[in-house]
Structure 1
Amino acid sequence: MKRNQWQGWGAGEQPQQHYLIEPRALAGGGDIRHVTEFLRASGWREKSTKRGPLVLESPDRTVRLSYDPFGMPGGWSIRGAAEGHQAEWWATLGPQTPVEIVAGLTDALTQPRSAHAPNVWAPLAEQHWQTGPEGRHYTATSPDGAACLHFRQDPDGAAVWWAGAGDRQGNGWTAQLAPTTPLHLVHAFGAALASPEPVMRPRGRVPHSAQIRTTSVSVLPSQLGAWQQVRITAARAAAWARNRPATRPRTMARQARITPHARSRARR
């Protein structure tokens, strides 16, 4: 096929109809590559078996992520090994959890942890979520009531982070995070959950929900590819910065090799 016959190239490409969806918590699962390609670009290794679920492992081998759309209950599973003062932890997110919200947590896995524990509830309160204690629990609920994040404790003291979203048509998802989940990950997850930014879905992938607002947009395939590449490039750059060896400037190293006797002669 000649290049000028292919509509996916250059001036011949055709715009595709997509939709910006608000609130993002009800946008449906989306393209899992938004999560997985960022992790691969950050140095995560493929550990999938031929007929098993998708599995990726962190560069230091302490965290494993899997995605299985066909299992029960299916969806995302993340497990972190015990390391130093950090206890073992886990997180499970249903298959209809928007990938942009999943990425809030998984992107944070590639970033250095702050020395100070963040206020998990701050990003939700900033978006006017109703937050406060409810008995043994502490909850945050979105202004439209469609999404929530809870820290739940039963009478025996067992605890879990629980999040979810749903509409009156039965669309929705739930997620659970172990109480030992590092707080910077819970914070990042909550920030992505509460973000007012809409998310994009192609035609045919928009949930049938009376509680979402949609804006139709025309997008070129090259634009989609460019936006995805920006995210991947940022992940690669961050991975390179983390892994590059610490080196001193050559001038400093040269000065370090000059002996006091040589410096004395140089001043004469």
Structure 2
Amino acid sequence: MRKKQRRGWGPSEQAEQHYLVRPRALAGGGDIRHVSEYLGASGWRDRSRTGGPLFMESPDRTVRVAYDPYILPGGWTVHGRAEGAGAEWSAHLGRQTPVEIVAGLTDALTRPRSAHAPNVWAPLAEQGWSTGVEGPDHTAASPGGTAWMQFRHGPDGAAMWWTGARDTQGNSWTAHFTPTTPLHLVQAFATELASPDPVMRPRGRVPASARIRTWSVSVTPSQLNTWQQARITAARAAAWARNSPRGTRPRTSTRPYTPAGGTRTRR
């Protein structure tokens, strides 16, 4: 006998098993469309070649975002330029950097800069990260010790932001930002890095790690599509508000990808 369908599911939909993963820094890379579709909805041009790596360009052509999994070590590259001396900057993020954390940086590229002075350490301190100073280097570490953010000086004396996550099973990624990277972008990245909210991964895409906690959830394709479309709609609304000479800005915030229903099983 066919199982009775739950209310709100489509006539032919089947629930799919996903997992909520915490800490998010060890959740694995995820679906790069979380980044690219938001940029596209914000007016960015997709310059990718068919079958090639992702390559997107800002409307004013001053910033480029690329993801290339076909080279070693592979991963994300964000490059920006502006008028003035020393204005070029870049960020390089490893392949396993969770897309939700990458989006902290790339989403911020689509928004006006805040009038408040940026503070990279503030969102980390708010989430209980420990801080320390060793010579000229400043470091913050997550409560579980799996992720870090550091302002360090290399062998040549050049300063840069260095961050990443790791566990004892070999799951790891690192990212670094040139010293000319706008601080509000580094702060936006740090905010998503330190967020205590779990992220969702489909079955088979959760890294094997003793340092993560997971909750099994059953969701339908239409639910997943609704959450994805909410994020895209928010990007389009924000882009419209920026480009509209008049009118009230619509609400652009979205709810996290956390199902309201379904059975959760902690692992």
Same fold (TM over 0.5): yes
1:143 maps to 143
1:116 maps to 116
1:236 maps to 236
Whether 2:128 is the aligned partner of 1:160: answer: no
| Matched residue SS, 1:181 | coil
Question: Which amino acid in the other structure matches residue 141 of structure 1?
Answer: A
Alignment coverage as a number of residue pairs:
239
Change (3 A) 1:18 1:123: same
Separation in 1 of the partners of 2:157 and 2:82? Answer: 21
Separation in 2 of the partners of 1:56 and 1:232? Answer: 16
1:91 maps to 91
Per-residue CA shift, 1:86-110, capped at 9, x if unaligned? 7110000011000000000000000
Asked if the contact 1:81/1:87 (under 8 Å) is kept, the reply is: yes
1:44 maps to 44
Separation in 1 of the partners of 2:12 and 2:115? Answer: 51
The aligned runs of 1:75-90 (5 Å cut-off) are 75-84=75-84, 87-90=87-90
Asked if the contact 1:136/1:154 (under 8 Å) is kept, the reply is: no
| Matched residue SS, 1:92 | strand
Q: Which runs of 5+ in 1 are unaligned?
A: 1-8, 248-268
1:190 maps to 190
Per-residue CA shift, 1:15-50, capped at 9, x if unaligned? 100000000000000000000000000000011234
Change (3 A) 1:125 1:220: same
Asked if the contact 1:44/1:59 (under 8 Å) is kept, the reply is: yes
Separation in 2 of the partners of 1:150 and 1:23? Answer: 19
4+ residue stretches of structure 1 with deviation over 4 A?
A: none
Question: Which amino acid in the other structure matches residue 33 of structure 2?
Answer: R
Q: Give identity over the alignment, percent.
A: 72
| Richer in helix (by share) | 1
Question: Which amino acid in the other structure matches residue 41 of structure 2?
Answer: A
Q: Which runs of 5+ in 2 are unaligned?
A: 1-8, 248-267
| Matched residue SS, 1:193 | helix
1:5 maps to none
Per-residue CA shift, 1:195-219, capped at 9, x if unaligned? 0000000000010111110000001
